[in-house]
Structure 1
Amino acid sequence: MDDERALSGGNATGIVTRVGDTVRKQWSASTPSVHAFMSHVQDRGVEVPTPLGRDERGRQRVEFIPGPLAIDGGPLSADGLHRVGGMVRAIHDASETFTPPADARWDTAIPAPDAQIVCHNDLAPWNLVIGDRWVFIDWDAAAPSTRLWDLAYAAQTFTLSVLEAAPRDAADGLRAFVDGYGASAEFRTRLPLMMHRRAAAMLELLTTAHSHGREPWSSMFADSHGSYWAAVVDYVGANQQTWLDALTATRPASTSEGA
């Protein structure tokens, strides 16, 4: 294709290219289920890259979303974090009415504690475009999970990833994010420990994959990801009370959600 260009970024999706206003990447056994989920969420009014089927080479075609990634800019403001928390909530709410195909297949690297709704499973700054539209991309790891497990990862990656940040400052961002989600009192109480467990699960994936030579996680572990996630686990674990205090301080009443 004359205008096909490789796109940078991404660790687990293989070669990704842009062709015009579309992204092309490998079609896998889970892609039909993922595309069905994306279409459902989009039909419920959530901004999602439109899935466009397969190209003539058998690859998946997905709408290209222009704009920078959140990870490439400075830290999001409190308003920005509140907005992203609301985006996560909208995805979860839309998923509540999704019925997976009878032959659904999913491909996610980290097992979830339960299978209550289908989640994105990688809602993070490296997967959020913040151009004219704010849109989460890279839905290939979508699979059954729980709201709290998915929220824990998103909240940690967006607010507790700068390990040099003073915990009280990071906690302010965490609260803005969780306020945006509209989390219940129960979720706020459980979230600090769940963030620690979710970060530990990521470290376990990288460590185990490295010991068995399983790619791409083995190379990621060696290329600083292992040491980074080990530090994240320590940071999130050591400041549990700070996160809990920030999340459970007096606040406006919020709606409830399923666990």
Structure 2
Amino acid sequence: MGVDVPLPLGRDDAGRHVIEYVEGVSALDQLPLGHDDLMRVGRLIRQIHDASEKVDLPDSEGWNLLLPAENPDLMCHNDLAPWNLIMGERRVFIDWDAAGPSTRLWDLAYAAQSFGVLFEGQPVEEATLRLRAVVDGYGADEPLRRALPEALGKRAAAMYNLLKSSHGTGFQPWADMHVNGHGEHWRAAAEYVLRNRAAWQRASE
């Protein structure tokens, strides 16, 4: 099955890469998404991962990946989040510049947390239902479901550690993001996910 992505339109007179404009609204402005939309998100992520299996995986050595996965075996988007999903007549993920070798688990963990809104302050039972909808929409098999709760915690912690270390080294834009609210957000998000791991386990069963 193919994947709907913005079409490349070549380069403009200034040499800039031009892509198709996709009409719609950002999923970020629609959060929290309802059950049917979350199921659809899960199916879309599955389509992307299944299609990626047909792409030869390049040597992962030398890739400058911000949050590398252990034992990468699939080309992934690496930022499947509400701010990168356009919702309209088409549902299209944009911003593919971070694509690179990863795994279904690592990619899905980030997407499931962000679309499920598994963040500090969210009622856990509501977040659990949203997480289940994404995972069920994806059609995750039993090994993936068992591994997901732990991966959620690791992925959130990795995001916080990226921001924290970037602040120490001055690596932009993450260094500024760390002190502009993102650092505290992801610190709290990592703690929230770890603290409620039993709920995510129930959602993944």
2:174 aligned with 1:217: yes
- 1:207-246 equivalences under 5 Å are 207-246=164-203
Cα distance in 1, alignment partners of residues 188 and 6 from structure 2? 33
- 1:20-31 equivalences under 5 Å are none
Q: CA deviation at 1:50?
A: 1.0
Match of 2:100 in 1: 143
Match of 2:15 in 1: 58
| Unpaired stretches in structure 2, ≥5 consecutive residues | none
Residue identity matched to 1:64: Y
Deviates more, 1:62-71 or 1:80-89: 62-71
Whether contact under 8 Å (1:118, 1:144) holds in the other structure is: yes
Whether contact under 8 Å (2:105, 2:144) holds in the other structure is: yes
| Unpaired stretches in structure 1, ≥5 consecutive residues | 1-43, 249-259
Q: Count the aligned residue pairs.
A: 204
Which structure: larger Rg? 1
Cα distance in 1, alignment partners of residues 195 and 58 from structure 2? 42
Give the RMSD, CA atoms, in angstroms.
1.7
Q: Please, what TM-score do these two structures have when normalized by structure 1? A: 0.75
Query: Is the partner of 1:112 in helix, strand or coil?
Result: coil
Cα distance in 1, alignment partners of residues 26 and 72 from structure 2? 29
2:132 aligned with 1:175: yes
Residue among 163, 170, 189 paired with 1:206: 163
Cα distance in 1, alignment partners of residues 134 and 29 from structure 2? 19
Q: CA deviation at 1:106?
A: 4.8
Cα distance in 2, alignment partners of residues 195 and 98 from structure 1? 26
Distance verdict in 2 for CA 1:191–1:112, change over 3 Å: same
Match of 2:142 in 1: 185
Cα distance in 2, alignment partners of residues 245 and 115 from structure 1? 27
2:27 aligned with 1:70: yes
Distance verdict in 2 for CA 1:199–1:64, change over 3 Å: same
Whether contact under 8 Å (1:119, 1:142) holds in the other structure is: yes
Identity %: 50
Whether contact under 8 Å (1:107, 1:140) holds in the other structure is: no
Query: Is the partner of 2:172 in helix, strand or coil?
Result: coil
Residue identity matched to 1:127: N
Cα distance in 1, alignment partners of residues 51 and 62 from structure 2? 20
Deviations 1:78-98 (A, max 9, x none): 110000000000000000011
Deviations 1:142-200 (A, max 9, x none): 00000100000100111034422211111011001000000011111110110110011
